Structure 1
């Protein structure tokens, strides 16, 4: 008897998870299962209509995750940002619950989307960016769990152009603002394209015993470009056919976010892997390019 190959996806209504669900449906090798706190929401119902399994699971309630993950071959895990350290809803707690539940039900492979720890890299100088530090806590916990796994290490999201309203219309084109100097070079990815492509490459290779030895426990930087915001603005100008000028915006006034910009400003290029990552390419992944992103996403949203 053959059993369905279920991949349970956290964050299936968000940017990363929804892109992974789309890729799994298109590929057809695996059945996506969306783990959500509200299976009756409008977004959950839309997923059901597309053939996605939708089950209730709360990342702050491990027992609900045990039920939700039952029968899953693999898990794609992403946590919800929560800067509060006092209410017990932090990302470290969410991630550890996901790992524990996956191990309890016998999940065979676990994909974690991670970030480097700022406290570690800065020697304790930056203490408040819990989003980065919690991700690293979970990654280390996952390593100690014994679960076969891999981590996808994410850079700046190209989608933040509209997610954070970074482009503003002007009489002659657009202004592009971010809390970093124009010459500061960042590592980027088209998250909606590159994360699912990386996840599928891992899922299709981990069952090969010799490849699992290479994959298991490895952290893969998912980066499609390294450039400054001024360079990105210039590329957008060419694609949109209007002037796009970059201007550094002031700090956001949110200590966790402002420390993020300080970290990026001081520690440019914290992933040292060549671009594109040759290890993911060797697994069959095809990376996107910034030019493709601008043609497909930016032109559709901002083109005249």
Structure 2
């Protein structure tokens, strides 16, 4: 643990520090032998997770990252040397809002004079598919923020979170998905391992400006994921490739709003046809402080009794 209050140590502003990705960044930096000051952003400093960070020596700051709160957002970044930025689209389901708030954070970090911005983005499905699939709003909103960050004049790297678990698409011990079983996905235990890639970016001799990185514990096809899940749990789990329209209807029938169901349908269908990574994405684990979990290790560490009988 090398968290310090020494002003000579770099100050890293971490958005979403009590969430999955931000929390992983905090974890990775606290594991480092290098000294860091960490400013943890949260909306509620009184919740247990925020109090736990304060007890570890982090500076915990309450801030709502919205355009209506612009002045407070800019103030929250003051003095930072680096910034980790993430948005929570799932909280509100509004891609244009996500883009506006992502740009706001970049502007605030730039005004603070940071030496580098790490942004948790996603690829443009529109661009990947040659505009065949244009309705994945929560990917496009993040991709627009990435473009804005790369043009900001501040050293900027887009470190994209891979997929974690297909638990939500597991029904009657079947994965019913609209893509080939050989389709490989970047699988990561984001809570434990995402931050390893952020730490690597911060500790490189030269900040990886304008690069896009994939984060993953393993690149693995859906058929192999299914096989390993069966082997570990002792349950007969089956992968079933279904038409995209049938998949989309299934997502809607679960109560998902139609526009979000369409976005989820197009994500999986596009990945099956065109792959997950945009051109030039750095897909490498070289230089990480430790090895991330594989899919099998993740499965072994989870309780699957709620979805497998």
1:46 matched to which residue of 2?
52
Q: Work out whether 1:131 is the aligned partner of 2:143.
A: no
For the Cα contact (< 8 Å) 2:128–2:278, is it kept in 1?
no
Indicate the residue corresponding to 1:67 in structure 2: 75
The equivalent residue for 1:84 is 94
Moved more, 100-109 or 265-274: 265-274
Give the TM-score taking structure 2 as reference length: 0.79
* C-alpha distance in structure 2 between counterparts of 1:219 and 1:298, whole Å: 33
Give the RMSD, CA atoms, in angstroms. Answer: 3.0
Judge which range, 126-135 or 223-232, deviates more.
Answer: 223-232
What 5-or-longer segments of structure 1 have no aligned partner?
none
TM-score (norm 1): 0.81
Contact 1:117 1:136 in 2 (8 A): yes
Q: Is residue 2:202 matched to residue 1:203?
A: yes
User: Which shifted more, 244-253 or 119-128?
Assistant: 244-253
Matched, 1:290 2:283: no
Report the equivalent of 2:209. Answer: 216
Are the structure 2 counterparts of residues 218 and 2 from structure 1 closer, same or farther at C-alpha, using a change threshold of 3 Å?
same
- Residue by residue over 1:53-73, the C-alpha shift from the partner in whole angstroms, topping out at 9 and shown as x without a partner, is 211222213322211112222
Change (3 A) 1:300 1:193: farther
Q: Which blocks of at least 5 consecutive residues in structure 2 are unaligned?
A: 1-5, 253-260
SS at match of 1:183: coil
Which structure is higher in strand share? 1
Aligned pairs for 1:19-168 (under 5 A) are 19-27=24-32, 29-60=35-66, 61-81=69-89, 82-84=92-94, 90-155=97-162, 157-158=163-164, 160-162=165-167, 164=168, 166-167=169-170
Residue correspondences, number: 284
Whether contact under 8 Å (2:196, 2:288) holds in the other structure is: no
Correspondence 1:5 to 2:10: yes
The counterpart of 1:230, out of the listed 210, 223, 227, is 223
